[in-house]
Structure 1
Amino acid sequence: MSFAWLTALAWLAALAAALIHGPVLTLAANRLVPGVPVSGGSALGPVLPAILALSALAAGLLAVSPGRRAGAAALALAVAAAGLFAGGLGHGAALRMADQPPAARAGLGAGAWLAAALLGAALGLAVRRCRQPGLGLVVVGLGLVGLVAAGRAGLFDALSLAVEYAARREAVHAAFVEHLVLAGGALGLAVPAVILLSLWRRGQDAVGIAIGGVQVVPAVALLGGLVALTGGLLRAVPPLRDLGLSALGPAPAMVGVAAYLLLPLWRGLAAALRAPDPASLDAARAMGLTDAQILARLRLPLGAPLLVGALRVAAVQGIGLATLGALVGAGGLGRIVFDGMAQFAPDLILLGAVPVVALSLVAERTLSAVEDGMRAGLPA
């Protein structure tokens, strides 16, 4: 038996174990107490055999052929299995919450998260087999749209995560916007800073040491130091308060996150500038092109995929690190996460963490599609 078949069988066995024997739902008297596990066989009901059958067909296609057609068929089957799984969870939770008091909660169990991860892995492999640029972004986008549409239709209303969202809808929306501003502002600070640092040619070794040194400083310690530094600056220059600057808030959080984004951007810019081979540079100089013309016509066009790749890494890193901005009063989705930790409410933690993961996936897939498109346009 080939390695591909062994992998497919192991994947299918893990999925079946998670869905049949694993707790896909937990029923609790309220949001704080531990829940009673409910297996997939009980929660999903007649949908479970269909999910396993579709998953088995998808795994078989991925194992038997590496071609595009098999990948496309496996993708369709995996999408159908994931859709049935999501719908089955919502329906199963609704059935079990029908006769429960208002404080009761139906949360997602470990089996549901494991099954979701396994189905996501199958979707990712099927997308890769299709070898179609931008398909991953389309799948992620359609998946998010489908989840939102199903949520608005009330399919997930009985799940505790949806209950927490309904109770904090406006706060979540405001935190989402704040998170985008924090991550985008940090990236907006880091990009021009890297460009300015790259102009100091003689000091590139010192720049590399300084930027690399930031990475070893714990994020919480750096944010705390920036709060103290900003407070000292405001005491020394009081008029800065009139400009809206404060020791706590978005300013130190943006600067702190931007400091961590310098390294991937600086390395990406350096690699992009080295993208043309020496022979091409010599030919350009022999044609009489200036350094500025070589930069605009040769270095940047050939290094554009590397620049977008560095931007992708920095964007995903910034979205994640912006969560810590709540520790210094910057708001964002981190505020919901830390509120959930303070209240020992796992679903409230997930309410803040899940949008961060979704944002990271969208940013990664979008910029990956742009990067792949640029690489495809380069001469072989």
Structure 2
Amino acid sequence: MLLACFLPWTLLRPNRLAAGDYLRLDVLWMIVCAALALAVPFSARLWPRLTPLLSGAALSLGFYLLGARMTAAMVDQAEFARASASSGLWLWLLGAAIAVYGAGQLNAGQLTSEKFGSVLAWLWLPVLTALTLTGQLADWSVLRELDAQQSRFLQELGQHLKLVLSGLGLAVLIGAPLAVWISRRPGAANAVLGLANGIQTIPSLALLGLLIAPLGALATAFPALREVGISGIGTAPALTALTLYALLPVLRNGLVALRGVLPGIMDAARGMGMTDNQRFWRVQLPLALPVWLSGIRQAAVLLVGVASIAQLIGAGGLGYFIFSGLQTAASDLILLGAIPAALLAIFVDMLLRGLEVLLVRRLGRA
């Protein structure tokens, strides 16, 4: 964060493709940022209760300067001009985010109370929300691109979600029964997990390429398949690849979870007169579900990233903006696809992690 104070924070260009000028912080803001960057680590030793507040303030200041610097740079500029975040701003946001994460992990046994630290570490969230709702970030080049391509963005975001949810749903439908089956057959478990591991080692782009020929041949041999959307390019190979990639975490965690239920618990259920099906649905599955859900969470986060390359075979998704930006050397378009994909992965991880915690607490009360 201290190094970020001395680097350029804004890149002003006459359009999205042209070279531009790098703008640094004013001296006053440089002093404020440097003081805050030094205050965060010192407070962790001298006054730990202040560390979450300072960390949240540092990240909040980064988002504020993101909007303020872009607005100032765009004064008297043409409509096609673009103001982008430069290395200093990105480095500051990264350092502040790490500080916020560290402050949020502080607990009563270490530096400060868990509840107090967690609340103050999230100070940046209402600040970012307020800046977004009031239009203070509207001059940022990425949001300008979003405003210009809003309908296409919503279309590709919906397609991205459709690919992820469909691939995850198919992986669970295939992997869940298969995990139950191999949990009772050690020999089959080694073979199935070995095959799933082998698929996971294939690079995603290579797997998409390998699927084009067989799916194209099927569509040619059976024209009815082409009518329902199955062909060598498009959604079919992308969805197939996503399903295959998601199988390993679903199978592996399901197997570990089901085998991890203590034999004594199963014996007690048998002693109560439960049938095999009753023991599975009422005892084994509820106890295994939190660990199994962890594998589904890993698969979901994995698919959010892998789905970004589906655009290469015409399946759409947020990769449309990433590859469009790469082809035209437009970094704003790359960020328009990359930032939402990263945020989507974080949101999915938080949502499913919260569900895991809820299940663990319910089982603990039971």
Q: TM-score w.r.t. structure 2 length?
A: 0.88
SS of structure 2 residue aligned to 1:129: coil
For the pair 1:98 / 2:83, whether they are aligned, the reply is no
Unmatched 5+ residue regions in structure 2? 108-113
Indicate how the Cα distance of structure 1 residues 343 and 363 shifts in structure 2: closer, same or farther if over 3 A, else same: same
Which amino acid is 2:99 matched to? Answer: A
For the pair 1:157 / 2:138, whether they are aligned, the reply is yes
Match of 1:224 in 2: 209
Write out aligned runs for 1:53-68 (5 A): 53-54=35-36, 56-64=38-46
Q: How many Å separate the matches in 2 of 1:129 and 1:378?
A: 27
The alignment yields a C-alpha RMSD, in angstroms, of 2.5
Q: How many Å separate the matches in 2 of 1:178 and 1:312?
A: 20
TM-aligned CA deviation for residue 267 of structure 1: 0.8
- 1:203-247 CA-to-partner distances (Å, cap 9, x unmatched) read 222111110100111111111222222111111211122323333
Q: TM-score w.r.t. structure 1 length?
A: 0.85
Q: Identify which of 50, 56, 59 aligns with 1:79.
A: 56
Q: How many Å separate the matches in 2 of 1:248 and 1:269?
A: 32
TM-aligned CA deviation for residue 273 of structure 1: 0.3
Write out aligned runs for 1:9-158 (5 A): 15-18=1-4, 20-39=5-24, 41-42=25-26, 46-54=28-36, 56-64=38-46, 70=49, 73-129=50-106, 131=114, 139=122, 143=125, 147=128, 149-158=130-139
Q: How many Å separate the matches in 2 of 1:85 and 1:95?
A: 15
The list of structure 1 runs, each at least 4 consecutive aligned residues, that deviate by more than 6 angstroms after superposition, is none
For the pair 1:185 / 2:162, whether they are aligned, the reply is no
Which amino acid is 2:173 matched to? Answer: P
Indicate how the Cα distance of structure 1 residues 336 and 146 shifts in structure 2: closer, same or farther if over 3 A, else same: farther
TM-aligned CA deviation for residue 320 of structure 1: 0.6
TM-aligned CA deviation for residue 63 of structure 1: 3.8
CA contact (8 A) 1:50 1:81 kept: no
TM-aligned CA deviation for residue 324 of structure 1: 0.9
Write out aligned runs for 1:341-356 (5 A): 341-356=326-341
TM-aligned CA deviation for residue 374 of structure 1: 2.8
Q: How many Å separate the matches in 2 of 1:253 and 1:146?
A: 38
Q: How many Å separate the matches in 1 of 2:282 and 2:38?
A: 51
Match of 1:235 in 2: 220
Write out aligned runs for 1:335-374 (5 A): 335-374=320-359
Greater shift, 333-342 or 87-96, is seen at 87-96
Q: How many Å separate the matches in 1 of 2:52 and 2:299?
A: 29
Identity of matched residues, %: 33
Q: How many Å separate the matches in 2 of 1:195 and 1:370?
A: 18
CA contact (8 A) 1:257 1:321 kept: yes
Which amino acid is 1:240 matched to? Answer: L
